[in-house]
Amino acid sequence: MLELRNVTIKLKKDGRYLARDLSFTLKSGEKAVIIGEEGNGKSTLLKYLCRPDLVEAYCEVSGEVIPKGRVAYLPQFADKADEARTLAAFFSNSAYYLHTDTLARLGLPVDLLASDRTLGSLSGGERVKVRLARLLTEEPDILLLDEPTNDLDLCALQWLEAFIRESRLSILFISHDETLIENTADVILHMEQLVRKTRCRISVARCSYREYLARRSGDLAHQEQVAKKQRDDYDRQMERWRQIYSRVEHEQKTVPRADPGGGRLLKKKMHSVLSMGRRFERQKENFLDFPETEEAILARFDGDISVPAGKTVLDFSCPALCAGEKLLARGVSLRVTGSGHVGITGRNGAGKSTLFSLLWAELRERRDIRAAYMPQNYADALDFGQTPVQYLAARYRKDEVTRARTYLGSMKFTHEEMTGKIGDLSGGQQAKLIFLDMILCRANVLLLDEPTRNFSPLSCPVVRRALKNFGGAVVSISHDRKYLAEVCDTVYELRETGLFPLSAGGSDRNCP
């Protein structure tokens, strides 16, 4: 069990609150997910719950965190020093050999953990399993997991989903994967930043993710309906009141001086009318507010973008796909025509990103199309030392930069975020900047490497809808099951012997 009492977290640089007087108890065996838009402080909250000193350099914190049991924390990224260590060194202080059942559940052979392979040489899924194994050998009672789904292939995602669902531990996790959240979480912590990020709100619901979304949508709709009716009724009452007031006022002005009794009666009547008006005003103070929500917003692609139906966008073939001297796959070929939306999936280490670098080298030189690329590593596309405004100003005309500022504002970028370093933005905000760049350049062919990997589960439906409706061609690498099913009309799996078509949204192969 993990108890939070009046936890408040405030950023030092701008005084923005990420949490304010948050009280919450993670009960034994519960699986709770933290959701919220990019940059709302999800990772900061998780770090604080593990060790307050992890955030004290950039946050002011108060409140109590009371763990009733041993806490283990899996950060979003492995430490750089750990990635260079051998697995034998990584597990040197762990009695992992006494936990063969745990290792079997993770699918890790004991001899791998005693090997000279480095942590950094493992695939994304293997790295998560190995890092998780070291935590589990400490026999924790509570697990804190920050984006454990990043870099996992479909098989590893399915494994992690089963692990979380079947574990007896209390688990608090952050994830962008909606399918995993739907299938595992029984408690929702929703972190929001309202009124242009000047007010924070954290909602706690003990229910499934789908139930939470449905309940939230229903509650917001009801609140909006009641608030609107209250104001409509008030406007009608006030219009009637103004008519009565005007009539009494007119009668007061026209009452003959020879009729003092009538004047006194009109004076009493006006007093009653004014009292009625004050009563209406007092009722107004108790009106429900219109619901404030933090909407997931992504600028939309222009609706006139298209590719002619018979046009060849890609006709790629590669007899041997290699990374250095390592052969990854043979006989890789891909043909895309018109406005096709193609998805590519496959196990970690299969060579998908290597393939995309070759596709981009071919597309970027084309003059008959306008291609744009979203790499997995955003530093390959963005200058982290620039501000978002500087980055866009260097690429577009002044009127387009003005349009870009408007878009950035609509996507909830504050002035400080627009004029701060790109490297200080969250991964989701950096992804939004790349999307905005693709919109402004009016690309009609998009090459996207894991486009939803850094978006929140609330933003992902917006991203999927924008790309599904995109009139040009889209070629994507993704392990996001909803993305593959909703955006892609053709899905391929990259195997050692080439690209093989799959049913959209899944793999025809059994996971090992």
Q: How far is residue 346's CA from residue 500's CA, in Å, rounded to a whole number? A: 10
Residues of the chain with pLDDT below 70 are 222, 287-299, 503-512
Residues 251 and 353 grouped into a single domain: no
Q: How far is residue 214's CA from residue 218's CA, in Å, rounded to a whole number? A: 6
Residue 341 · residue 490 · CB < 8 Å: yes
Residue 49 · residue 2 · CB < 8 Å: yes
Residues 194 and 253 grouped into a single domain: no
- Whether 404 is in a domain gets the answer yes
- Whether 441 is in a domain gets the answer yes
Collapsing DSSP to helix, strand or coil, 278 comes out as: helix
Count CB-CB contacts under 10 A for residue 467. Answer: 22
Residues 122 and 247 grouped into a single domain: no
Which residue has 């975020």 as its token pair? 417
Residues 111 and 201 grouped into a single domain: yes
Q: How far is residue 241's CA from residue 328's CA, in Å, rounded to a whole number? A: 80
Q: Which residues of 87-116 are buried (b: 16+ CB within 10 A; e: fewer)?
A: beebbeebebeebeeebebbebeeebbeee
Boundary residue ending a domain (153, 185, 212): 212
- Whether 384 is in a domain gets the answer yes
Nearest to 230 by CA among 177, 283, 191, 277: 283
Task: Give me the CATH number covering residue 410.
Answer: 3.40.50.300
> In the prediction, which pLDDT does 222 show?
66
- Whether 509 is in a domain gets the answer no
> In the prediction, which pLDDT does 512 show?
52
CA 184 to chain centre: 17
- Whether 511 is in a domain gets the answer no
> In the prediction, which pLDDT does 344 show?
95
pLDDT tens profile 231-268: 888 888 888 888 988 888 888 888 787 777 777 888 88
pLDDT tens profile 197-235: 778 889 999 999 999 988 887 777 767 777 788 888 888
Count CB-CB contacts under 10 A for residue 154. Answer: 24
Count CB-CB contacts under 10 A for residue 247. Answer: 12
DSSP conformational letter for 444:
S
Residue 428 · residue 35 · CB < 8 Å: no
Residue 511 · residue 364 · CB < 8 Å: no
Domain that holds residue 463: 312-502
Residues 53 and 85 grouped into a single domain: yes
DSSP result, 364-403: TT-SSS-EEEE-SSGGGTS-TTS-HHHHHHTTS-HHHHHH
Q: Could you tell me the pTM of the whole model?
A: 0.75
Secondary element (H or E) of residue 270? helix 260-285
Q: What is the 3-state secondary structure (H, E, C) of 451-486?
A: CCCCCCCCCHHHHHHHHHCCCCEEEEECCCHHHHHH
Strand ranges across the sheet with 445-449: 371-374, 445-449, 473-477, 341-345, 490-495, 498-502
Boundary residue ending a domain (212, 228, 248): 212
Residues 22 and 166 grouped into a single domain: yes
Residues 281 and 403 grouped into a single domain: no
DSSP result, 311-342: -EEEEEEEEEEEETTEEEEEEEEEEEETT-EE
Residues 429 and 486 grouped into a single domain: yes
- Whether 330 is in a domain gets the answer yes
pLDDT tens profile 42-54: 999 999 999 888 9
Residues 442 and 360 grouped into a single domain: yes
What is the count of structural domains for the chain? 3
- Whether 297 is in a domain gets the answer no
Residues 223 and 206 grouped into a single domain: no
Boundary residue ending a domain (186, 212, 238): 212
Q: How far is residue 447's CA from residue 428's CA, in Å, rounded to a whole number? A: 18
Give the CA distances from residue 147 to residues 2, 171, 176, 177, 477, in Å, rounded to whole numbers and listed in that order. 20, 13, 7, 9, 19
Could you give phi then psi for residue 497, rounded to 5 degrees?
-110, 20
Please count the residues of the chain.
Answer: 512
- Whether 296 is in a domain gets the answer no
Residues 157 and 232 grouped into a single domain: no
Residue 475 · residue 447 · CB < 8 Å: yes
DSSP result, 69-114: S-EEEE-SS--HHHHTSBHHHHTTT--GGG-HHHHHHHT--GGGGG
Collapsing DSSP to helix, strand or coil, 142 comes out as: strand
Residues 426 and 466 grouped into a single domain: yes
